[in-house]
Chains A and B, each alone.
Chain A
Amino acid sequence: MSNFEYASAPESKAIANISDSYGLFIGGKFVDPRKGKSFETINPATEEVLSKIGYADKLDIDLAVKSARSAFTKVWSKTPAKERGKYLYRIARILQVRAREFAVVETLDNGKPIRESRDTDIPLAAAHFFYHAGWADKLEYAGFGNKPKPVGVVGQIIPWNFPLLMLAWKIAPALAAGNTVVLKPAETTPLTALLFAQVCQQAGLPDGVVNIVTGDGITGAALVNHPDINKIAFTGSTEVGKAIARSISATNKSATLELGGKAANLIFEDAAIDEAVEGIVNGIFFNQGHVCCAGSRLLVQENVADEILEKLKARMSLIRIGDPMDKNTDLGAINSKEQLKRIHEISKSGDAEGANRWSPECKLPSKGYWYPPTIFTGVSQSHRIAREEIFGPVLSVLTFRTPAEGIEKANNTMYGLSAGIWSDKGAKVLWAAKQLKAGVIWSNTFNKFDPASPFGGYKESGWGREGGRHGLSGYLKSDVKASK
């Protein structure tokens, strides 16, 4: 009788009031798209249709930008900074009050485990609004030059991996700095953004300060190319990021781009082994590996590699995969059919190029999009799985013999978003952090986020930073002349 089978503990869907259909949120109201087109958003864990979402085309984008422009010139730029802060604070409080509802909707729409949406996504989203509420009336004292000014109307495009959190990363600093926004959530995960539109109404935010337009890549392109946008803030794939950079190159638009990554997670021989194993798991299997800063390239010092791998496999066997609404689920569904296809495709290249694939025994649900936690050992830098971002629960394991070799391999990538260092020796951690070319470096932990900590990458991982004082600067222009 030594078996502990956790009974299923599903979170109730009852709290999630998902409408059958949603319009676009323009000028403080939900409106139907001009051409009446719509698309469906589904629950990736069950393939059930959740709602019909309005599809915004050029005409709708134009309306949304006009509404943002008028709100910017007539209202928001004239609103005292202190008042702006109050709105942000109010939004943060509403997010906290409605946290459970948001967590449920996020999990239904995205497929991530409720444990993560409940404990990570929603609390962090609220934290970003709280943090930026504090900045709103202190911008003049933050070293941005004298009387920093908002850039104006900002077009924001966010990905499907952390729908509400990425919205918070974008909208909170933009509003704190005095901009108005037109935000396009990802095609597969628009629901929490639309719920957030209701929060804006609830908070009494002036009409048009936040506009939310739903659609696909074509909608996004229309937003990027709209002539009355002052800045583009984009988080997503490097490929799309490059296209955006090209398309705005001949304009006055500025941009922040948070793009892909292939982070090195370096385990030195003197690491705290059990906690390092936990960190590896958290680094790559958190959010199904749908994390641009995921520790997808594990670099282990050769003399502890066997021990680490043995423990990692034992630990992976405990990962609970399945219904994301179950509070005991660790690994949820892959967000879309397309993404699942891509994970399969790159993983197969690992098999073909001679790496060894391993997954624990696990039963995957018959409906929905699923991929088991997977590691590839015997990977070398020249394998595709060591170079390309997989964006799924797939870890490539490489080894190194000396610290210098570890650093060299870690930096041998076209990306540079994040990195992890595991060592009990403080001096070694600081030495390694100095050598690594990555925007975020975690030591003895992984995937930790804080609104006060700037986030962003080197090389093909992007332009600019989000979060912290650095992130705010991307939403401001300092008018040095005005100082006199």
Chain B
Amino acid sequence: MIIDGSESSLKKFLADLPPVDQVGAEARAGMLATRSIKTTSKAWAIDTAISMVDLTTLEGADSPGKVKALCAKAVRPDPSDLTVPSVGAICVYNDMVKIARAELDAIGGRDIPVAAVATAFPSGRASIAVKKIDTQDALAAGANEIDMVIDRGAFLSGKLGEVFEEIKNIKQICGNKAHLKVILETGELVTYDNVRKASYLAMLAGADFIKTSTGKVAPAATAPVVLVMLEAVRDYFALTGTRIGVKPAGGIRTTKDAIKQLVLVNETAGSEWLKPSLFRIGASALLNDLLMQRMKLRTGYYAGANYVTVD
């Protein structure tokens, strides 16, 4: 442990982190977006991206039927081509976890984890007691991953210890049963300095993954934000020997966007991070674009939206 857990040691540690220069970070992310990925590398990137998708439905209108359909898609994204890998996980609200888990188990998706957005998602505005129960509830329903949101209000008002304790508490509940993904909601943290601090805060408190956004706030997973988070996990690994995962979520809709994310990973944290256990992309619409681009690589023509399923 780098810090002794006290608020003061935590504050000191975070204050000592090097600052992020906004112009420089954006320029670097912009440069990496110009990498040209074609032919074999594109084919590899598309399949890798598919295996990293956290196929997500987070709507008030979610129903068992909708979730079951999503599970089918997660297991076999493209019924016309069984060489397409399964996705990284299914990501749903708490009350849908049981349905998703049972459905996946029933249709051959036993290895696909179910991620639950717990802890008063998406605002995080509830007491710690409620957040704990929320998490226990998800675990009891069979969740393999918990996507928790941090209390941005506490973070922005400088109550770093409070945020730290909250993450630690939730991590304790997860134990060995579930991976903890901590959502920073970077759009509300605004500055890259805050993104770097919140990333470290989450990692120090026990996060297995750090995630950009809920998908309910814009801007969400911008390239510079992901760059800063990837730098954080890279440096944290150098410091502790522990590899923490990164999950951009929100706004990644096209194959091009997804490939840009993979380039960021490759040239920042390194190729070690290019696997679903260390990098995920939270998305709902992205998968179909990946499938269409994959078809295009295979057949040479672009078939269009009706050649992939809408579930």
Chain B residues with CB below 8 A from A2, complex form: 271-275
User: Binary interface profile of B, 31-54, with partner A (CB < 8 Å = 1, else 0)?
Assistant: 000111111111011001000000
Most buried by B among A119, A274, A278: A274
The smallest beta-carbon distance between A124 and chain B, in angstroms, is 16
The smallest beta-carbon distance between B203 and chain A, in angstroms, is 17
User: Binary interface profile of B, 161-173, with partner A (CB < 8 Å = 1, else 0)?
Assistant: 0000000000000
Cα-based distance from A115 to B36 in the complex (angstroms): 10
Most buried by A among B35, B273, B274: B35
Q: Which residue of A lies closest to B26 (CB)?
A: A275
Given A424-B19, A444-B24, do A318 and B41 touch, yes or no (CB 8 Å)? no
Given A4-B262, A274-B18, do A115 and B24 touch, yes or no (CB 8 Å)? no
Kindly identify, within residues 278 to 292 of chain A, every residue whose CB is under 8 Å from any CB belonging to chain B. Answer: 278-279
Cα-based distance from A176 to B238 in the complex (angstroms): 55
Tell which of B19, B34, B271, B272 touches A272, judged by Cβ atoms closer than 8 Å.
B19
Given A1-B275, A7-B42, do A318 and B23 touch, yes or no (CB 8 Å)? no
Chain A residues with CB below 8 A from B266, complex form: 4
Chain B residues with CB below 8 A from A328, complex form: 35-36
Tell which of A3, A274, A424 touches B25, judged by Cβ atoms closer than 8 Å.
A274
Chain B residues with CB below 8 A from A4, complex form: 41, 44-45, 48, 262-263, 266, 271, 274
Tell which of B21, B34, B44, B275 touches A424, judged by Cβ atoms closer than 8 Å.
B21
Chain A contact residue count (CB 8 A cutoff): 25
Chain A residues with CB below 8 A from B296, complex form: none
Q: Judging by beta carbons under 8 Å apart, are A115 and B34 in contact?
A: yes
Chain B residues with CB below 8 A from A5, complex form: 40-41, 44
Given A4-B271, A5-B41, A7-B42, do A275 and B28 touch, yes or no (CB 8 Å)? yes
Task: Decide yes or no whether A327 CB sits under 8 A from chain B.
Answer: yes
Q: Judging by beta carbons under 8 Å apart, are B36 and A279 in contact?
A: no
User: Binary interface profile of A, 262-279, with partner B (CB < 8 Å = 1, else 0)?
Assistant: 000000001111111011
User: Binary interface profile of A, 433-449, with partner B (CB < 8 Å = 1, else 0)?
Assistant: 00000000000110000
Cα-based distance from A1 to B25 in the complex (angstroms): 29
Q: Judging by beta carbons under 8 Å apart, are B23 and A445 in contact?
A: yes
Chain A residues with CB below 8 A from B275, complex form: 1-2
The smallest beta-carbon distance between A117 and chain B, in angstroms, is 13
Q: Judging by beta carbons under 8 Å apart, are A274 and B35 in contact?
A: no
Chain B residues with CB below 8 A from A6, complex form: 35-37, 41
The smallest beta-carbon distance between A305 and chain B, in angstroms, is 14
Cα-based distance from A7 to B25 in the complex (angstroms): 26
The smallest beta-carbon distance between A77 and chain B, in angstroms, is 43
Task: Decide yes or no whether B105 CB sits under 8 A from chain A.
Answer: no
Task: Decide yes or no whether A9 CB sits under 8 A from chain B.
Answer: yes
The smallest beta-carbon distance between B98 and chain A, in angstroms, is 33
Task: Decide yes or no whether B305 CB sits under 8 A from chain A.
Answer: no
Cα-based distance from A278 to B224 in the complex (angstroms): 14
The smallest beta-carbon distance between B34 and chain A, in angstroms, is 7
Q: Which residue of A lies closest to B45 (CB)?
A: A4
Q: Judging by beta carbons under 8 Å apart, are A273 and B36 in contact?
A: no
Given A4-B274, A119-B34, do A274 and B20 touch, yes or no (CB 8 Å)? yes
Cα-based distance from A275 to B42 in the complex (angstroms): 29
Task: Decide yes or no whether B231 CB sits under 8 A from chain A.
Answer: yes
User: Binary interface profile of B, 244-263, with partner A (CB < 8 Å = 1, else 0)?
Assistant: 00000000000000000011
Q: Judging by beta carbons under 8 Å apart, are A318 and B24 in contact?
A: no
Most buried by B among A275, A276, A424, A445: A275
Task: Decide yes or no whether B311 CB sits under 8 A from chain A.
Answer: no
Kindly identify, within residues 1 to 44 of chain A, every residue whose CB is under 8 Å from any CB belonging to chain B. Answer: 1-7, 9
Chain A residues with CB below 8 A from B19, complex form: 270, 272, 424
The smallest beta-carbon distance between B297 and chain A, in angstroms, is 12
Task: Decide yes or no whether B267 CB sits under 8 A from chain A.
Answer: yes
Q: Judging by beta carbons under 8 Å apart, are A275 and B34 in contact?
A: no
Chain A residues with CB below 8 A from B48, complex form: 1, 4
Given A278-B24, A424-B21, do A3 and B36 touch, yes or no (CB 8 Å)? no
Q: Judging by beta carbons under 8 Å apart, are B38 and A274 in contact?
A: no
User: Binary interface profile of B, 1-41, with partner A (CB < 8 Å = 1, else 0)?
Assistant: 00000000000000000111101110110000011111111
A-B contact pairs, 28 of them (CB 8 A): A4-B45, A4-B48, A4-B263, A4-B271, A4-B274, A5-B44, A6-B41, A7-B37, A7-B42, A9-B38, A115-B34, A272-B18, A272-B24, A273-B18, A274-B18, A274-B20, A275-B21, A275-B23, A275-B24, A276-B24, A278-B27, A327-B36, A328-B35, A328-B36, A424-B19, A444-B21, A444-B24, A445-B23
Q: Which 9 A-B pairs have CB atoms at the shortest separation, nearest pair first? A: A275-B24, A9-B36, A272-B21, A275-B21, A327-B36, A273-B18, A7-B41, A4-B266, A424-B19
Q: A5-B40, A6-B36, A270-B19 are in contact. List 16 more A-B contacts (CB 8 A).
A: A1-B275, A4-B45, A4-B262, A4-B271, A7-B37, A7-B39, A119-B34, A271-B18, A272-B19, A274-B231, A276-B21, A327-B36, A424-B19, A444-B23, A444-B24, A445-B23
